[in-house]
């Protein structure tokens, strides 16, 4: 059986690579992403997308670094942060849909990404700890 650290590293690498790709899209192709999600594109949106792209690139780099680290504390702490971040993003996305501010077609990308990794990190901690996969 794989250790908790090994499983978390796989999810951190996948999450980090996804963040890096999304960050580049936000920086370089924000107009295409806005169109794909049904948002009106403006210079204000370009500014916000660029800022979030930079933040997403930084988080992606952090996660990829954690996935390559031999430090269990760094790996676990980064995954716990992923639970916190992904959980909040999921709640926010559902709230925006429930309040009628966004359509599901506009929020699906963030919801799928954040929900998947939140669940993956939680299940990894619960199942592997229970089975002794320290």
Give this prediction's pTM: 0.89
Residues 61-118 pLDDT 10s: 999 999 999 999 999 999 999 999 999 999 999 999 999 999 999 999 899 999 999 9
Among candidate residues 30, 24, 86, 91, the one with its CA nearest the CA of residue 58: 24
Q: Measured in whole angstroms, how far is the alpha carbon of residue 7 from the centre of its chain?
A: 17
Residues 117-126 pLDDT 10s: 999 999 999 9
By residue range, what is the domain housing residue 14? 4-130
Among candidate residues 90, 20, 107, the one with its CA nearest the CA of residue 56: 20
Q: What element of type H or E holds 70?
A: none
Among candidate residues 35, 60, 37, 34, the one with its CA nearest the CA of residue 47: 34
Residues 98, 102: Cα–Cα separation, whole Å: 8
Structural domain count of the chain: 1
Token pair for 21 = 């790709």
């Amino acid at each position: 059986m794989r250790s908790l650290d090994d499983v978390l590293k796989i999810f951190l690498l996948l999450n980090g690579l996804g963040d890096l790709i999304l960050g580049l899209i936000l920086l370089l192709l924000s107009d295409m992403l806005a169109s794909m999600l049904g948002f009106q594109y403006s210079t204000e949106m370009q500014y916000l997308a660029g800022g979030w792209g930079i933040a997403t690139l930084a988080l992606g780099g952090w996660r990829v670094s954690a996935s390559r680290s031999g430090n269990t504390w760094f790996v676990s702490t980064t995954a716990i942060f992923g639970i916190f971040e992904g959980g909040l993003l999921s709640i926010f996305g559902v709230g925006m849909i429930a309040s009628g501010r966004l359509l599901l077609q506009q929020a699906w990308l963030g919801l799928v990404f954040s929900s998947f990794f939140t669940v993956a990190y939680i299940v990894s901690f619960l199942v592997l700890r229970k089975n002794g996969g320290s």
